[in-house]
Amino acid sequence: MGKILVTGGTGFIGSHTCVALINAGYQVVIMDNLCNSKVEAVARIEMITGRHVRFYRTDMRDEEDMRQIFEDNKIDAVIHFAGLKAVGESVEKPLEYYENNISGTLSLLRVMREYHCNVIIFSSSATVYGCNNEAPYVEEMPTSATNPYGYTKVMIEQILRDVCTANPEFTAVALRYFNPIGAHPTALLGELPNGVPQNLIPYLTQTAIGIREKLSVFGDDYDTPDGSCIRDFINVVDLAKAHVIAIRRILEKTQKEKVEVFNIGTGRGVSVLELINGFEKATGVKLNYQIVGRRAGDIEKVWANPDFANQELGWKAVETLEDTLRSAWNWQLKLRERGIQ
Ligand code: NAD
Ligand code: WQD
């Protein structure tokens, strides 16, 4: 069916996507420099799928090493997850973020061109809607960013458009994820943040299990029904499936544009307080939390209009929020069993 190179394939979303790809019949080659993930993810993908996976511990900026992957494997398409993703860190270390995410993508694209691999799916983000658009976001809205991380996503989308214009054979899909959460139902894969989590769900589950004392809810004075921010929380398994559909579409050349962009979200806005209530209901675990001041840079309301993905890809988020929150909790419990967190 095709051999797919998955950059960042041991990471949170990449690992779930590898499982979905293998289950759909694709061969998968993973490359990752393990700066934000563990090699055990490869064994876990193999455990879930019962299939062997080839793994390269490689930095995408190292073109010599990248060439070796393309020498060893006839790669039909690339799904490009590799990148640094912490918003706050990107403000403190802009050069590292531009260097890693932008230079890394340029190296990848150069090597792809050398080996006549012309098909790429890119992990973009709702962050490209910046702070001047109003939810629900539609793909045609102007893009911008509020931090270096966000700018790397805006820039890489543009780089892909330019490369596709210059090279008639090149095609790309950018999937703009909203807030990916949850874990694989087997609890063998999930999110494993380094240090103190910055994102809501890992902080929440670490609080629920006693690693953190209290979850801070950043603001209850927003112009929303309960005063807390609203997000579009998308289950990571649903998200992974969108990649399988996109890869099929692009490999079968049923794309309508050389570069297509899709929102990958549920279309449903859920507030931070609703999420906390939902977690308590789904798991029966009481959460210690307090309302504190707003976090700088937070946007009040973020949710997708996913109509384009629903209609064109035939993709729709199907997992319930309750099951998703339960899966995140089961993953946290498994981490404790394994003595990791
Ligand atoms: P993750 O950190 O778990 O996965 C990214 C992987 O890329 C990691 O395994 C890391 O080791 C690897 N990596 C980083 N730099 C590399 C390099 N130079 N060479 C090789 N490997 C490298 O993150 P994730 O949540 O799975 O995100 C995957 C992609 O989706 C990222 O591009 C991210 O920006 C994007 N995204 C994530 C979210 C989110 O909230 N998780 C939302 C929107 C978009
Ligand atoms: C969600 C909500 C917080 C932590 C980030 C990136 C975005 C995308 C997804 C990659 C907000 C609140 C959080 C906490 C809280 N990533 N919160 N207490 O900021 O929506 O998006 O991840 O592309 O680009 O910016 O996600 O999980 O940090 O926050 O109250 O301890 O939870 O204020 O309203 P965010 P998040």
98, 149, 151, 177: which is the annotated catalytic residue? Answer: 149
Beta carbons within 8 Å of 158's beta carbon, 6+ residues apart: none
293 C-alpha to ligand 2 centroid (Å)? 14
CB of 14 sitting under 6 A from ligand 1 = yes
Element (H, E) at 57: strand 54-57
Q: Residue 221: how many CB atoms within 10 A of its CB?
A: 10
Q: Is a pLDDT exceeding 80 seen at residue 341?
A: no
Residue to probe by mutation, ligand 1, list 32, 79, 96, 102, most atoms within 8 Å of CB = 32
Greatest Cα pair distance, the chain, in angstroms, is 56
Q: Which two tokens stand for residue 221?
A: 């004075």
Q: How far apart are CA 234 and CA 180, in angstroms?
A: 5
Q: Is a pLDDT exceeding 80 seen at residue 171?
A: yes
Closest listed ligand to the CA of 177: 1
Q: Which two tokens stand for residue 77?
A: 């398409």
Closest CA to 245 of 308, 315, 174: 315
Calculate the alpha carbon distances from 221 to 200, 224, 279 in Å.
Answer: 18, 8, 22
Q: How far apart are CA 112 and CA 67, in angstroms?
A: 9
Per-residue pLDDT, averaged over 243-262, amounts to 97
What residue's CA is closest to ligand 2, atom 7?
127
CB of 218 sitting under 6 A from ligand 2 = yes
Per-residue pLDDT, averaged over 54-83, amounts to 98
Q: How far apart are CA 196 and CA 203, in angstroms?
A: 8
230 C-alpha to ligand 2 centroid (Å)? 10
What residue's CA is closest to ligand 1, atom 14?
83
Beta carbons within 8 Å of 298's beta carbon, 6+ residues apart: 218, 219, 229
Average pLDDT over the chain, rounded to whole? Answer: 97
CB 10 within 8 A of CB 38: yes
231 C-alpha to ligand 2 centroid (Å)? 8
Q: Phi/psi of residue 7, each to 5°?
A: -80, 140
Q: How far apart are CA 325 and CA 322, in angstroms?
A: 5
Q: How far apart are CA 125 and CA 137, in angstroms?
A: 12
219 C-alpha to ligand 2 centroid (Å)? 12
Which band of pLDDT confidence, cut at 50, 70 and 90, is reported for residue 267? Answer: very high
Q: How far apart are CA 184 and CA 235, in angstroms?
A: 9
Closest CA to 137 of 125, 147, 154: 125
pLDDT of residue 340: 83
CB 240 within 8 A of CB 17: yes
Q: Is a pLDDT exceeding 80 seen at residue 204?
A: yes
Which band of pLDDT confidence, cut at 50, 70 and 90, is reported for residue 176? Answer: very high
Active site residue 98: no
Closest listed ligand to the CA of 89: 2
CB 45 within 8 A of CB 19: yes
In the chain, % of residues over pLDDT 70: 100
Q: How far apart are CA 164 and CA 266, in angstroms?
A: 29
Taken in order 112, 114, 119, 124, is the CA torsion positive or negative? positive
Q: Is a pLDDT exceeding 80 seen at residue 290?
A: yes
CB 15 within 8 A of CB 9: yes
Closest listed ligand to the CA of 299: 2
Closest listed ligand to the CA of 13: 1
pLDDT of residue 21: 98
Residue to probe by mutation, ligand 2, list 272, 277, 324, most atoms within 8 Å of CB = 272
Torsion of CA 66, 104, 127, 169, to 10 degrees: -60
pLDDT of residue 194: 85
pLDDT of residue 339: 87
Per-residue pLDDT, averaged over 175-196, amounts to 96
pLDDT of residue 61: 98
Tokens 């095709």 belong to residue = 2
275 C-alpha to ligand 2 centroid (Å)? 12
* Angle separating helix axes 200-208 and 272-283, nearest 10 degrees: 40
CB 76 within 8 A of CB 4: yes
Q: Give per-residue burial for 32-42: e unless 16+ CB within 10 Å, then b.
A: bbeebbeebbb
226 C-alpha to ligand 1 centroid (Å)? 32
pLDDT, tens only, 311-339 = 999 999 999 999 999 999 999 999 999 98
Query: Looking at the whole model, is its pTM more than 0.75?
Result: yes
pLDDT of residue 177: 99
Q: Which ligand 1 atom minimizes the distance to the CA of 127? A: 43
